[in-house]
Amino acid sequence: MTVKDVTITIQGKPTYEGQEEDAVQLITRGTLAIGEKAGHYDLSYEETELTGLQGTTTTFKITPKRILLMRSGPVNNQMLFEEGRRHTALYSTPYGQMQVGVCARHVLNRMGDSGGDMEIDFSIDIDHAMAGENSLYVNVREATLPQ
């Protein structure tokens, strides 16, 4: 498996009922592991204080048809994004656990061996109550400067 140092730009636009849209952007360093099968990648980075998830590792497991977001550390969860399907998972935080469901309306994966981008539009529910809508855009490019 080949692993490359990459720069990751993540733009999110969560929309929660009763709250204004609050677009967020994170630019960080990480790694892109190229899988044995064509179109399979693991994209990983360490969360920081800025995201409120310090000490947590976030990994996107990317395949041609679906994207799995996994977090491990103080926050542990998995969210599976597959266009047109709803998936549920247990979300564990230092404050307790909750059942989280995600339904991806749109999943676009243009990842390649040198980077690329992903777009995910999804709704999220917590314990079966609609919590909001989210748009996530991730751009990955090979790092040009040493970490």
Intervals of the chain under pLDDT 50: none
Task: Return the pLDDT at 54.
Answer: 86
Q: What is the DSSP letter of 76?
A: B
Q: Tens of pLDDT along 47-85?
A: 988 778 888 999 999 999 999 999 999 888 899 999 999
Contact by Cβ (8 Å): 136, 10: yes
pLDDT of residue 21: 63
- The pLDDT, as a whole number, for residue 58 is 95
